[in-house]
Amino acid sequence: MNPMDMLKNFQDIQAKMSETQEKLRGVTAVGTAGGDMVRVEFNGHMEVRSVKISPEAVDPDDIEMLEDLLLAACTDGIRKVKERIQEEVSGLTGGLDLPPGMFGSA
């Protein structure tokens, strides 16, 4: 491959990376636990956007249960957002072989 083709390929990859990073802002996933008593919403950058806890999940005598539900909902949400990220990245990169974790999905 000549240097000009390599530069063009690199520029294409950079453009796709920028496009993908922007697209990930709109990706959301919700992790749940306890039959939806605890819900944690993540964006495509794996940042927590919201936490919802139903009153039934709150027992002052069993805080450990609520902690476990919150942990389970976060774990579920992270798994789901990673799946969504993989779907988005696969669609946008058109089969480019990019390093794992490049878009926060590692």
Per domain, the residue ranges of the chain are 27-93
The pLDDT, as a whole number, for residue 94 is 62
Cα dihedral 32, 34, 36, 37 sign: negative
The pLDDT, as a whole number, for residue 48 is 97
Q: What percent of the chain has pLDDT over 70?
A: 84
- Is the pLDDT higher at 40 or at 92? 40
What's the whole-number average pLDDT of the chain?
A: 86
Inform me whether the pLDDT recorded for 106 exceeds 50: no
For 67-83, write each residue's pLDDT tens digit. Answer: 999 999 999 999 999 99
* Rounded average pLDDT over 9-38: 88
Residues 6+ apart with CB under 8 A from 75: 31
For 42-53, write each residue's pLDDT tens digit. Answer: 999 899 999 999
Architecture of domain 27-93: 2-Layer Sandwich (3.30)
Nearest to 102 by CA among 41, 20, 43, 47: 20
Entry pTM = 0.73
Report the alpha-carbon distance of residue 92 to residue 98 in Å, rounded.
11
Q: What percent of the chain has pLDDT over 90?
A: 51
